[in-house]
Each structure stands twice: as structure tokens, then as C-alpha cells.
Amino acid sequence: MNHHFSRRMNNAHKSFIREILKVGENPSVISFAGGLPNPDLFPIKEIQEACNKVLTTGGADALQYSTTEGYLPLREYIAGRYLKRFGLTVDPAEILITNGSQQGLDLLGKIFIDEGDNLIIEQPGYLGAIQAFTAYTPNFFPVPLNEDGIDIATFSETVATAKAKFFYCVPNFQNPSGITYTKECREQVARILDKSDTLLIEDDPYGELRFIGEPSPTFRSYLGTKAIILGTFSKIVVPSFRLGWVYAPKRIMEKLIIAKQGTDLHTNYFSQKIVSQYLQDYNIDDHIEKIKVVYKKHRDTMIRMIEQHFPSEIEYTKPEGGMFLWVTLPAGLTSMALFERALTKDVAFVPGNPFFVNTKGNNTLRLNYSNANEEMIEKGIKKLGEAIKELITSQAKTLCPA
């Protein structure tokens, strides 16, 4: 009886990562699969105090319906954050509070994408964005990433030929690769887009989690109103509140508000007020510093263990922040075969295939270092290295049987 469903749902699939996360629920499995913040760093006491204050000082209001745009003091805080981080003067009316940045992606897909429209994305690209946009049946034009960001030659050619509605990117500690666009790469991207009708959507969930090097400018600084920015509190406060935002020019914001009103009227008002109270009472920069110290230790441990236990022909990124690094296996090996072998050793990761919109990526994988302590990382990477070596040996025997 599939004829009852829309064509878009017949083409939709479950999140591969969400299915893999079920494996990680087994306490015996060391999981590098999820993109999860470290729960040991959640400000539980502070959130509890903020919650009590919200209920005590204005509980009835906090439990009522609210405006679609979101709680004004929270939007004012976000606007002030952009001024502090990038020197951008932002009108709070250009901020829409969403149910995580994932809803922001869906709303942007809803207002921009008609069936058959062309979109430019990174390769590998963020799976959540691929899923959100796929529902609106576009044509994806993937452009490969280099160590310094998007491949400029391919990007320039793609912008000229695809006539895309927008280019979606995660320029800071990209998910899944961990790669960050250099300042020079950003300037080149901006120059190319400035001569076209293609908008840019910058997804920035990890930008404040830099623990090596200097912060990079946002594309809004280069492209003005041709750039739309997505942000979230999930990585710097807590994820369960599902509080994100879209920062967009008012002509686009009008359409986003209409789309959101047809979806859920407004984002959880109680959560908005709690987070706003928390941000008012505590210094978020102090909390972010704690996160960065821990994540850098985890990242350094993972890289050190990779150097010790992975074969020398394995390639991997060395992120300057964020939560992920990217591994490329030698040609001929598949990450799915490695995944199955690693599971027998109680280690999980995300094979790279879901981050591609074509058939490439079979020999790649993503590792998360934020949600495992150093002991788990040492043990898990050692086991993963053993699995890789076993896979290489098995392949050699297959190709050259005795």
C-alpha cells in the first residue's frame, strides 16, 4: 500500500548514523560513532538553578505559547555574540530560534528547493543536511574537500555550470572530516559566489570549539546578505533542549517564519527561557574553555594512538577543533568490512558512505573523539588498528592465495 505515501517519503531513508548509535547502547562497545558532546561537561547544576529561577520568577509565562521568532532576550544574546565574535552588527529580527539547527536545514530546504533544483554541497558532506534537503528532491553537485577547504577549481566550475540555488557548507571543523577552511579559501569562495546568483548557507555548530590556531571569519563578513548562518547551543550548552537558530536577512526571514508556523508554531519556549537565564547568570566563555581543554586532550590522544597502532598507509585529518576526524583506508579496503570486523572487537564508528551522494567514499570513515574518555580512546583505537591490519592481511590472502 505504498501508494498512500508521498514520493518524497518513498525516497527517504532512516539515518544510518542513528541506526549505528543503537550499537553504541551496548555498554561493552567503545563507540566513536555518534556526534555526541561529552555528558561529563554538561552544566547540570547551573541548568537546574536556571530552571528554578525561571519557574519561580515567571513560571506561568514560561509555560505558555510564545512567538514564532523565539524569545527576544535569547535572540538579543545571539546577536550580541556575533558582534563579540566577528564584529557583526546583527538585528535580533534576523534571528529565528529553531528546534536544533537540523530544523533550520529543513526550513531552508522548504523555502528554497523546488523539485529538480541544483544544490552544491561538500564531499564528504554532513549527513543531516543531505537527509533534510533530499526530501525536497534536488540535484546534488558535490565538490571535494582539500586540507584547506573546498576544492576551489572544481567549486568555481560547478558554480558556473550548476546555477545552484545555494552552496551548503560546514567551514569550521567540518562534519564529518574535521577540515577547516583557511582564510584564503573563504575569500576565494566569496569572490566566486559574489559573481553568481548562488546563496551560501554556512552551518556553524562547532566554530566556538577551536582549541588550536586562530578563529576564522564568518562568510557573512564577506558576502553580507548572500550568506545565511546556522548555529546551535547543542555543542556548547546541552543538546537535549534542541535549541538552534538561523541568522538570515529579513527578506529570507519572512519566508522562514511562515514555514515554521506551518511546522510547529514555535520552538520550546520553556527551554528557551532556561538557556537564556543560564547565559545571563553564567559566563559561557568559561564553560566553552572547559570543553575545549577536554576535547583537545581527547583529540591528541586519538591521533597519538592512530600513529602508534594504524598502518602507515592510513591517512587521517588532524582537526584544530570540533569533534571529529576522518580516516581514509588504502584502495581496495571498505569501511563497511572494517565496521563488521571492528564490531567483533566491540568497537564502533561511522563508515564514510552515508556522507557521499554518489558511490564514492567506500574506503573512508568518521571517528568521534568528544564522547569517549582517554582510556576508552586508547583501548578502542588499538583494537581498531588490529582490525585494520587483519583486514589488510585478509585482502592480501584473497588477492595472492598460497
Q: What is the CATH number of the domain that holds 107?
A: 3.40.640.10
Specify whether 247 is located in the same domain as 185: yes
Q: Are 202 and 320 in a shared domain?
A: no
Q: Is 345 part of any domain?
A: yes
Q: What is the mean pLDDT of residues 290-314?
A: 97
Same domain, 141 and 231: yes
Q: Do 329 and 212 fall into the same domain?
A: no
7 and 84 housed in the same domain: no
Q: Is position 59 within any domain?
A: no
Q: What is the per-residue pLDDT across 59-92, written as a single tens digit (0 to 9) for each?
A: 999 999 999 999 999 999 999 999 999 999 999 9
Whether residues 144 and 168 share a domain: the answer is yes
**Alpha helices (H) in 234-373, listed in sequence order:** 250-261, 269-281, 284-309, 335-343
For residue 54, being part of any structural domain is answered with: no
- The residue with greater pLDDT, 28 or 229, is 229
More confident residue, 344 or 396: 344
* 19: CATH: 3.90.1150.10
Q: Stretch 269-296: mean pLDDT, rounded?
A: 98
More confident residue, 17 or 289: 289
Contact 209, 77 (CB under 8 A): no
pLDDT band at 298 (very low <50, low <70, confident <90, very high): very high
**What is the DSSP code (8-state) at residue 353?**
G
Report the pLDDT value the prediction gives residue 4, as an integer from 0 to 100: 75
- Compute the mean pLDDT over every residue in the chain, rounded to the nearest whole number: 94
- Predicted confidence at residue 401, as pLDDT, reads 56
274 and 141 belong to one structural domain: yes
38 and 161 part of one domain: no
Q: What CA–CA distances, in Å, run from 372 to 291, 293, 376?
A: 13, 14, 6
pTM: 0.94
Dihedral sign for Cα 47, 82, 191, 114, please.
positive
Residue 331: pLDDT band by 50, 70, 90 thresholds? confident
Distance, in Å, from the CA atom of 179 to the CA atom of 170, rounded to the nearest integer, reads: 9
Please report the sign of the dihedral spanned by the C-alpha atoms of residue 341, residue 345, residue 349, residue 350.
Answer: positive
123 neighbors 149 (Cβ within 8 angstroms): no
Where in the sequence is the domain holding 221, given as residue range(s)? Answer: 64-281
**Residue 52 domain-assigned (yes or no):** no
Q: How many domains does the chain have?
A: 2
